[in-house]
Chains A and B, each alone.
Chain A
Amino acid sequence: MIEVKDLRKEFPLSKQQKAEIQTTDTVSVAVDSISFTCQPGKVFSLLGPNGAGKTTTLRMLATIFNPTSGTISICGHDSVKESELVRKKIGFLTGSTGLYGRLTPNELITYFGDLYGVSKADQAIRKEKLYDLLDMHDFQNKRIAKLSTGMKQKVSICRTMIHDPEVVIFDEPTSGLDVITAENIIELIRDCKTQGKTVIFSSHIMSEVDLLCDDLAIINKGKLLHQGTMDAFRANMQETNLTAEFIRIIRNS
């Protein structure tokens, strides 16, 4: 479960940045007092155009950034005060996540398994299961730098899931991927839901949202514009399709 209350994130502006955006403000507000809750066994989608504050929000959930104000609770733990505990509970995957090209998938998965404190016995069981599921056996000992984009994405999924996280955070996970590779991610999100995990993912591709999500929130310029269930969103649409409705909400803001 993820509970976000009055979350705000400010970034200090340098002189150069102030000149570029022609402002006298000393900070830029990336996320402005947003609150939402993600339930276990459900997929929560965070929607918004580029620069809306989705990535900053997810980075705060993943404890990469500390909030300027507000609180985040993940599985009952505070993301700032108990950040190490929180990190044990989460899996984090982004579309731009890189991998260590000089390692093999096997070496990389073992490394992250060790860092997450997974015992060698559990690592062996989970590796076997994930390798079967993602069809990774053939390339597990090849250098990652020599793998195709699809293979690398499978390694990334494996890395995210090796510690069997309760909460999975996806930041535009399919961005830049071909449809076949993107399908692996869609499958992963479905699996996580089936297993009762809490899933939050950001996207601006409405077809993905339509396919996967149970609850959604729309943000723009750091502010929360809409929050509710996907069913309610569909029921109250003023436009003929999801994309048009999304654009209408953003423009009206």
Chain B
Amino acid sequence: MIFTIFKKELKETLRDRRTILMMIVIPVLLIPVILNVSVGIMSSVEKEASAKELRIGIIGNKNCFVGKELEAIPATFGKKKISYYSNAASLQKDLQKDSLDLGVMEDALLKDKFSKKTPATILWYFKGTEMGMEERAKGYMQYLENKTQQQRYQEMKIDGTELKPLIPVYKNIASDKEMIGKLAGGFLPYIFIAFGFMGCMYPAIDLFTGEKERGTIETMLVVPVARWKILFGKMGVVILSGLLASSFSLLGLYISLNYSDVIQVPEIKEVIQSILTVKFILILFLLLIPLTVFFAGVLIPLAIYSKSFKEAQSIITPLNLVMILPAMLASFIPGFELNYATACIPVINVVLASKDLIAGTLDMGMLAVSFLVMAIFAGSSVFLSNYQFGKESNVSN
């Protein structure tokens, strides 16, 4: 009987354009669009930043130390336009008005300090609200510092290497797969989870609230089938829809990698393709199945409680944030790792385990704990759905 109900509900669901849109069309099309847009924005921001002419204001004249040195800095540091000011007030005013990007003032006693071989101050003005200006200032300063230091070593006839007892060497032992995995790991699980939730949402509302709204629920409740079997048949379709939405988002990713030129760096493409293995997909689904059951088990009682499609949407939309926000935080907050504590937090454990899975550093013990925790939450949510579906007050309007 469960299968009879499942088949009928699936047939009806697949005939609903809204569900098809959320379950198949959006996941398949949206991933290439998201990738295209984000890669496009990133490259245009980079292009714009490198092409942008930096407007630097110097307090002093062309013959001052900073003026001469900055004018001589090679174009590889980016385009620049230098103007000169007689006082700090007018320079700061132009910075406030956004007529300038950076301001520089050298120490008034710079020449004296140079001759006495003591340090002189170079004061940089910038607006913290303008992205990247501090880094540009630090870049120029590093250049000036190195050049001046070398000159001083020559004047003092000192071998610079003698003053540098330690040479730091930082070697990154993470593989390309790990590096990109950690980066992609922040993005991919979030996508699968978000689509999985949205994939469950419409069928849950349609199959439970919709039955009440359309007046069909009474006909179901008088058939000689136990209520839990009716619930399980319907729930099966909600879970399948969620899993299909996640699978189609994976398909969307595969299509974007293979049939579009979104990612133009072949190494990144290779690494992402090497991540999408059968083993990866199987383990991912091992985590996604209890997660999707949990989503269905949380959505169904709310859908049963709601009296209309509109009411269900207004209740479930905030839940969307409650469910997806932790996934987003776990996805994008650096340093948030899978351990025995985080493995016990539903949704977050799936995101963190997926991140490690993508990076190839997933600990099987943690995977087992995450799966067990999700299975317990999924089971509890099914129990809750069954309780709610059995309540007379919530079943009929």
- Cβ-neighbour of A64 out of B16, B225, B396 (below 8 A): B396
Are A98 and B223 also in contact (CB < 8 A) when A11-B393, A66-B392, A114-B4 are?
Answer: no
B219 touches A97 (CB 8 A): yes
Q: Of the candidates B214, B223, B396, which one forms a contact with A101 in the assembled complex, judged by CB atoms under 8 Å apart?
A: B214
Q: How far is the CA of A84 from the CA of B224 in the complex (A)?
A: 5
Q: Which residues of B contact A103 (CB under 8 A)?
A: 8, 11-12
Q: Does B221 sit within 8 A of A, measured CB to CB?
A: yes
Contact present for B224 and A64 (CB under 8 Å): no
CB-contact partner of B215 in A11, A63, A97, A102, under 8 A: A97
Total A-B residue contacts, Cβ distance less than 8 Å: 71
Docked pose: A116 CA to B224 CA in angstroms: 6
Indicate whether B169 reaches chain A with its CB closer than 8 angstroms: no
A102/B16 in contact, CB under 8 A: yes
Q: Collect the chain B residues with CB atoms within 8 Å of residue A96's CB.
A: 215
With contacts A99-B216, A111-B4 known, is A92 near B392, CB below 8 A? no
B108 in the interface (beta carbon within 8 A): no
B131–chain A nearest beta-carbon distance, Å? 51
Chain B proximity of A112: nearest CB distance (Å): 7
Interface residue? B15 (CB, 8 A): yes
The range of chain B's interface size is 20 to 34
User: What are 27 A-B residue pairs whose CB atoms fall within 8 Å in the complex?
Assistant: A59-B218, A62-B221, A62-B222, A63-B221, A64-B395, A65-B392, A84-B225, A85-B224, A87-B223, A92-B218, A97-B215, A97-B216, A98-B215, A98-B216, A100-B216, A102-B11, A102-B16, A103-B8, A107-B8, A112-B219, A112-B223, A114-B4, A115-B1, A116-B223, A116-B224, A117-B224, A159-B219
Known: A59-B396, A115-B4. A100 touches B12 (CB 8 A): yes
- Nearest Cβ on chain A to B102's Cβ, whole angstroms: 63
Q: Is B64 positioned at the interface, with any CB of A under 8 Å from its CB?
A: no
Q: Would you call A88 an interface residue if the criterion is a C-beta within 8 Å of the partner chain's C-beta atoms?
A: yes
Chain B, 353-397, contact with A by CB distance < 8 Å: what is the 0/1 string? 000000000000000000000000000000000000000110110
Contact for B12 among A11, A102, A112, CB less than 8 A: A102
